[in-house]
Amino acid sequence: MDSDCPATKPFCTHEYRCRECRADGDCGAAKPYCVDGECTECIQNTDCGAGGTCGPDLECMVPECTSDAQCGGDTPYCDTSAGRCRECATDAHCTRDADKPVCVAFQCEACRSNADCPADKPLCRQNKCEN
């Protein structure tokens, strides 16, 4: 019953769960779309305006970069697919620290496989060379 739910989640489902919304009209301007009982900022990229994308959490993400020129410091390379500045995009970008010569998930790491490790530490575990 709706009256059993708190003001922040005023709608009761047939599974007796309190939800924020039943339809888009139950949501405010900041998060106008009702998805699975929760108000969200977007459901598709066009909901996010010019240059924005609808992220996996259904919130608009505005890219911080579209080219390397917009990045710097510890994250000098632009991952244009995500619009985020990253530490590296390829192994060639990992030259600042000799102990971390490979790029794994946009971060310079010691290894991605055993083949990247020296003989005295031949095993790659969680991107670190170990005995």
What was the pLDDT predicted at 80? Answer: 86
Residues of the chain above pLDDT 90, percent: 78
Whole-number Å distance between alpha carbons of 106 and 103: 6
**Domain segments of the chain: what residues?**
2-61, 68-130
- Which residue, among 6, 32, 11, has the nearest Cα to 21 in the 3D structure? 11
Of 83, 123, 88, 84, residue with least CA distance to 105:
88
Q: What is the pLDDT of residue 14?
A: 86
- The mean per-residue pLDDT over the stretch 20-34 comes to 96
CA-CA distance, 51 to 60, in Å (whole number)?
10
Q: What is the pLDDT of residues 91-118, one digit of tens each?
A: 999 999 999 999 999 999 999 999 999 9
Mean pLDDT over all residues of the chain? 93
Looking at residue 112, its pLDDT comes to: 96
Per-residue 3-state assignment (H helix, E strand, C coil) for the chain: CHHHCCCCCCEECCCCCEECCCCHHHCCCCCCEEECCEEECCCCHHHHCCCCEECCCCCEECCCCCCHHHCECCECEEECCCCEEECCCCHHHCCCCCCCCEEECCEEECCCCHHHCCCCCCEEECCEEEC
- pLDDT at position 3 over 90: no
**Quick one: pLDDT at residue 130?**
96
Structure-derived torsion over alpha carbons of residues 49, 55, 57, 62, reported in degrees to the nearest 10: -50
pLDDT band at 1 (very low <50, low <70, confident <90, very high): confident
pLDDT beyond 90 at 69: yes
**pTM of the entire structure?**
0.56
- Kindly report, residue by residue over 72-85, the tens digit of the pLDDT: 999 999 998 888 89
